[in-house]
Structure 1
Amino acid sequence: MHGVVLITFPAARKYGISFCLQTLTVLNPFHTPEVAALQDTDLAGPLVFCLAFGGFLLLSGKVHFSYIYGIGVLGCLSMWALLSLMSAQGVTIGTVVTVLGYCLLPMVGLSGVNVILSLQGYVGIVLTSVAILWCSLSASKLFVTALAMDHQQPLVLYPCALLYGVFALITIF
């Protein structure tokens, strides 16, 4: 194993690589995430993804920064209230913002595709449906794992899909 460096999660947190670990966790929604990776509340990553989302929308001729932040704040507060009622243990607003912000990554990709081609046809419907499903599946998996809510993923998946559906509508129209 010459030249291979394995980084464990405490070393990753020490060197500031938690951004990459949480991003990779979102990119693979079928993998069971580590609970330790979910307890790190990082607000820089969600801010970067919101700015990238708004930047791609700006490149496609849409100035929607206020909508992104307004819907994002309202969605995070609503999701925090819902998860506080559903989970036996408490959830912090930082965890909710971190998970919902990192799971915005497929929607950022969708807005990047919108710069190149229009999403108002059949291809756009398919790509938008995949992005909404990907975002909501990743977010619900992370919430269920972080809050130890066994067998409640469909209950968390639905409000996440509604939130990311609104972001998809902003992207399309």
Structure 2
Amino acid sequence: MTLTVLNPFHTPDAAAVQDTDLAGPLVFCLAFGGFLLLSGKVHFSYIYGFGVLGCLFVWTLLSLMSTQGVTVGTVITVLGYCLLPMVILSGVNVVFSLQGYVGTVLTALSIFWCSLSASKLFVTALGMDHQQPLVLYPCALLYGVFALITIF
């Protein structure tokens, strides 16, 4: 699943999305918090709090939008694995400050990358044809919160 997130323009395999692997998202959340800790920010509770509320919100939204059933484990897996570009951004924040023009551009690209990967995985897994922009927007809002945690 990590390779699918790293290449958001490749069409993912629907069978790969159905695997509920919770170890990868946990590792990415810990790495995200670890990089934030290296930059002087202790935000582990914010990461887990926004992560849990965001997963429940996206699960509710996808349950209402799709004709197939979606499990909470699938939502946690997809949103957790798609946090990888935000982990990379927080790693860049350890070395460089993101409070400037370059930081704003990198943050916007990271949010777009995360939300494009997540929405493509959800649309492929749930068979939601032509609904990717509707799924992309709430994912972008969720990853935007993580980006704000990273920058400030």
Q: Which residue in 1 is equivalent to 2:140?
A: 161
Residues in 1 aligned to 2:16 and 2:71: alpha-carbon distance in whole angstroms: 15
> Aligned equivalents of 1:36 and 1:91: distance in 2?
14
The 1-side partners of 2:13 and 2:61 are apart by 23
How many residues align? The count is 152
Give the percent of matched residue pairs that are identical in Structure 1 and Structure 2: 87
For 1:34-49, list aligned pairs within 5 A. Answer: 34-49=13-28
Q: Which residue of 84, 87, 90 corresponds with 2:69?
A: 90
Q: Which structure 2 segments of 5+ residues have no match?
A: none
**Cα offset for 1:31?**
0.4
Higher relative contact order (CA 8 A, sep 6+): 2
After TM superposition, give the deviation of residue 66 of structure 1 in Å. 0.1
Query: Can you list the C-alpha shifts for 1:57-110, whole angstroms capped at 9, x where unaligned?
Result: 000000000000000000000000000000001100000000000000000000
C-alpha separation in 2, matches of 1:154 and 1:49? 25
Q: Which has the larger radius of gyration?
A: 1
- The gaps in structure 1 that reach 5 residues or longer are 1-21
| Secondary structure at 1:123 match in 2 | helix
User: What SS class does the counterpart of residue 101 from structure 1 fall into?
Assistant: helix
> Which TM-score applies when normalising by structure 2?
1.00
Identify which of 46, 50, 61 aligns with 1:67.
Answer: 46
Residue 145 (str. 1) matches residue 128 (str. 2): no
User: Counterpart of 1:7?
Assistant: none
Q: Which amino acid aligns with 2:146?
A: F
Aligned with 1:115: secondary structure?
helix
SS at 2:98's partner residue? coil
Question: By how many angstroms is 1:159 displaced?
Answer: 0.1
1:106 maps onto 2:85 in alignment: yes
Displaced runs of 4 or more, over 6 A: none
Separation in structure 2 between the aligned mates of residue 65 and residue 38 of structure 1, nearest angstrom: 27
